[in-house]
């Protein structure tokens, strides 16, 4: 009797990669990006939008590639879809997950990728496509272990400051280094310390390292431009 896997669970998606032989793309990153292995070649499939992607290259980032090829996917856009991250006790998941819990997408719904002007969105997409076909460190997370919100939040077990601040930092891509109050962006490696409760980690990130791909994907270039009071779009495209 064949057991039907529930691929809403990241753990089930990860289990599907037992026979995955393409060492240049980590199963952990693919599962965190919503994919499970079909068992055919290097073809993976999103549990939500059902898009299938193949021909993975060492420089590919699963989250970025998913976003570029399926812009309306509920999972990749953080719209409620029932995703359950690794490390989450299913019995504790409410019918409607509270804001700040990464159960229905990659990150909190409040921080989904968005822009107000189609022209800006098209320019960002152009830049992402340019990066996708270039071997560049900007496209690869520096600390892939913390690609999921759950993993980042778990790193704050011994965080010396307010829990609410830890949740905001984890949502913004930062994990706790375990050293004083230093936090690190899992994607670009930017480090913060001495943050105050009133500080917005998204804004500080934009001001200190505006070209972080995670920041741009989640907040959009218009947010970065407003936070820095500078137009970076044309500059970033040339990187």
pLDDT digits (tens, 9 = 90+) for 46-61: 999 999 999 998 888 8
For range 32-55, the mean pLDDT: 96
Is 80 exceeded by the pLDDT of residue 96? Answer: no
Q: Which of 77, 108, 134 is the last residue of a domain?
A: 77
Q: What per-residue confidence (pLDDT) applies to 234? A: 37
What pLDDT score does 231 carry? 54
Q: What is the mean pLDDT of residues 228-238?
A: 49
Calculate mean pLDDT across residues 210-234: 75
Average pLDDT over residues 197-211: 87
User: Looking at the domain assignment, is residue 160 inside a domain?
Assistant: yes
Give a yes or no: residue 118 inside a domain: no
For residue 224, what are its two tokens? 């970065």
Assigned domain for 87 exists: no
Q: Which residues contact 51 (CB under 8 A, 6 or more apart)?
A: 45, 66, 69, 70, 73
CATH code for position 40: 1.10.1170.10
Domain that holds residue 45: 10-77
Distance between CA 194 and CA 186 in Å, rounded? Answer: 18
pLDDT band at 133 (very low <50, low <70, confident <90, very high): very low
In Å, how far are 19, 158, 183, 193 from 161, measured between CA atoms?
43, 9, 12, 12
In a domain, 3, yes or no: no
Better-scored residue on pLDDT, 159 or 220: 159
Please indicate whether residue 115 or residue 64 has the higher confidence score (pLDDT): 64
> Which of 26, 53, 77 is the endpoint of a domain?
77
Is 206 inside any structural domain? yes
Residue 87 has pLDDT above 80, yes or no: no
Is residue 122, in this structure, part of any structural domain at all? Answer: no
According to the model, what pLDDT value does residue 42 have? Answer: 96
Residue 93's pLDDT is what?
Answer: 53
Q: Band of the pLDDT at 148, cuts 50, 70, 90? A: confident
Nearest one of 166, 157, 152 to 197, comparing CA atoms? 166
Domain count, the chain: 2
Q: pLDDT class for 224, splitting at 50, 70, 90?
A: confident
Average pLDDT estimate for 137-152: 80
Given a cut of 60, is residue 108 above it in pLDDT? Answer: no
Q: Which range scores top for mean pLDDT: 72-76, 140-144, 155-159?
A: 155-159
Q: By percentage, how much of the chain surpasses pLDDT 70?
A: 72
**Residue 99 confidence (pLDDT) above 90:** no
Residue 139 lies in a domain: no
Is residue 105 domain-resident? Answer: no
pTM confidence score: 0.47
Q: Is 35 exposed, middle or buried (0-12, 13-18, 19+ CB in 10 A)?
A: buried
Mean of per-residue pLDDT scores for the chain: 77
């Amino acid at each position: 009797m064949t057991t039907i896997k529930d691929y809403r669970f990241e753990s089930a998606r990860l289990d599907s990669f037992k026979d995955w032989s393409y060492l240049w793309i980590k199963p952990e990153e693919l599962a965190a990006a919503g994919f499970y292995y079909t068992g055919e070649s290097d073809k993976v499939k999103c549990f939500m939008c059902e898009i299938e992607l193949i021909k993975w290259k060492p420089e590919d980032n699963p989250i970025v590639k998913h976003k570029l090829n399926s812009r309306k996917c509920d999972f990749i856009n953080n719209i409620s879809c029932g995703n359950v991250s690794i490390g989450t006790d299913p019995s504790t998941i409410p019918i409607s997950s509270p804001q700040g819990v990464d159960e229905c997408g990659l990150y909190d719904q409040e921080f989904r990728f968005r822009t107000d002007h189609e022209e800006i969105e098209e320019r960002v997409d152009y830049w992402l496509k340019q990066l996708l076909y270039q071997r560049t460190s900007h496209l690869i997370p520096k600390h892939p272990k913390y690609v999921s919100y759950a993993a980042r939040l778990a790193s704050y077990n011994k965080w010396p400051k307010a829990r609410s601040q830890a949740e905001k930092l984890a949502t913004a891509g930062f994990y706790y280094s375990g050293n004083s109050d230093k936090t690190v962006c899992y994607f670009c490696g930017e480090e913060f310390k001495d943050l105050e409760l009133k500080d917005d980690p998204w804004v500080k990130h934009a001001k200190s390292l505006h070209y972080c791909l995670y920041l741009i994907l989640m907040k959009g270039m218009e947010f970065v431009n407003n936070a820095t009071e500078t137009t970076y779009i044309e500059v970033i495209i040339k990187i």
